[in-house]
């Protein structure tokens, strides 16, 4: 097996700098777009053969060092019966957003075998296909990110409803975060049991908080998940966007790798995180829409900033954009492997 990605998670020397891309399976690939002509994203996620097919598409095309399970971050909420849809060009839309303690009490815990049986089947297919090739990454959104969707009802830029609920409904907020923490632990443990070899915990929207609020309202729950999930054989990546202002607290959770976005230079971020953890990132996804000469220049600059190579995983600062040329990703992977 190509172990460069796993070795980097544990800050070991690698044969080359490992590369994978968030959202590498999906929307920018012609093969995926063709599939979307006849299936919704949730239909693909709930059909193991299709979800595995999409997960595998970028492996041979791009030559990356890890595969990631194709799923949607809403799957655990869908599993417990939350009424939601994925709306094209908008994202997840919750039909009945949470507004009170009574609403929070309506949420139940996840039973993977009954609620999301397709997920384990998808992982089983991928485990068989990827055997002795590259590792498979499983993932979940973190409690704050799921809570924000449940409260806002749809994607937002200001998180006014979420933060207002957090500030004014202490008992409801604590119950919501405790419930989501339990759901996420169960969800990730089911993925590990099914055969994933790495876990990434996404807290995509936590950057809307101050460091003080993060420490008080979010960090205890995220730390609990990491405590329960991280093992000697399953490395854990903690990724967030807009976390520069709270990076010290964000990186304090018990995990192996911190993923950062493009808003902070790698050398400064790694110094603040501490070299006892690996680091992942952090090219701006928009850069990949440009000419490859500029991409190459920025990659060169990134590598010049690296304090060391052991423990570095090359990735974007967020997910691959839909209009990203496949050729740019392929050339980028090859170029990083040569660095």
Q: What is the pLDDT of residue 88?
A: 85
Within 10 angstroms of residue 285's Cβ, the number of other Cβ atoms is 18
Checking if the pLDDT of 13 tops 90, the result is yes
**pLDDT-derived band of residue 60, with 50, 70 and 90 as boundaries?**
confident
H or E element that contains 64? none
CATH of the domain at 68: 3.20.20.210
pLDDT single digits (tens) 179-198: 999 999 999 999 999 999 99
- CA 68, distance to chain mean position in Å, is 9
pLDDT single digits (tens) 153-164: 999 999 999 999
pLDDT mean over 206-214? 97
pLDDT mean over 3-26? 97
Q: What is the pLDDT of residue 83?
A: 96
Checking if the pLDDT of 267 tops 90, the result is yes
Q: What is the pLDDT of residue 53?
A: 97
pLDDT single digits (tens) 219-257: 999 999 999 999 889 999 999 999 999 999 999 999 999
Per the structure, how many domains does the chain have?
Answer: 1
pLDDT single digits (tens) 76-125: 999 999 999 999 889 999 999 999 999 999 999 999 999 999 999 999 99
Q: What is the pLDDT of residue 69?
A: 98
- CA 232, distance to chain mean position in Å, is 20
* Contacting residues for 208 by C-beta, under 8 A, at least 6 apart: 158, 159, 162, 163, 242
pTM of the model: 0.97
DSSP 256: S
Domain containing 16: what range? 4-338
Q: What is the pLDDT of residue 144?
A: 98
Nearest to 66 by CA among 128, 130, 15: 130
For the chain, give the mean pLDDT. 97
């Amino acid at each position: 097996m190509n172990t460069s990605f796993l070795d980097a998670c544990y800050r070991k020397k690698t044969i080359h700098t490992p590369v994978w891309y968030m959202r590498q399976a999906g929307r920018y690939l012609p093969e995926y777009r063709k599939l979307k002509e006849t299936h919704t994203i949730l239909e693909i996620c709930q059909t193991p053969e299709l979800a595995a097919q999409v997960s595998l598409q970028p492996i041979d095309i791009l030559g990356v060092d890890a595969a990631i399970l194709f799923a949607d971050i809403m799957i655990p909420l869908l599993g417990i019966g939350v009424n939601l849809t994925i709306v094209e060009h908008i994202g997840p839309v919750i039909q009945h957003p949470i507004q009170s303690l009574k609403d929070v009490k309506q949420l139940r815990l996840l039973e993977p075998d009954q609620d999301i049986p397709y997920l384990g089947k998808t992982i089983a297919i991928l485990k068989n296909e990827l055997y002795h090739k590259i590792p498979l990454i499983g993932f979940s959104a973190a409690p704050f990110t799921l809570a924000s969707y449940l409260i806002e009802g749809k994607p937002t830029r200001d998180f006014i409803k979420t933060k207002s609920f957090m500030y004014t409904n202490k008992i409801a907020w604590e119950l919501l975060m405790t419930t989501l923490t339990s759901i996420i632990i169960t969800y990730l443990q089911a993925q590990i049991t099914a055969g994933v070899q790495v876990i990434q915990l996404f807290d995509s929207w936590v950057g809307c908080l101050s460091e003080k609020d993060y420490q008080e309202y979010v960090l205890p729950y995220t730390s609990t998940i990491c405590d329960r999930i991280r093992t000697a054989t399953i490395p854990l990546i903690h990724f967030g966007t807009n976390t520069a202002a709270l990076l010290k607290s964000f990186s304090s959770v018990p995990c192996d790798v911190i993923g950062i976005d493009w808003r902070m230079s790698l050398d400064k971020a790694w110094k603040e995180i501490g070299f006892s953890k690996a680091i992942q990132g952090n090219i701006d996804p928009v850069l990949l829409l440009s000419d490859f000469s500029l991409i190459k220049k920025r990659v060169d600059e990134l590598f010049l900033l690296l304090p060391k190579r052991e423990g570095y995983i090359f990735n974007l600062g967020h997910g691959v954009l839909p209009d990203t040329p496949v050729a740019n990703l392929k050339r980028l992977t090859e170029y990083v492997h040569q660095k």
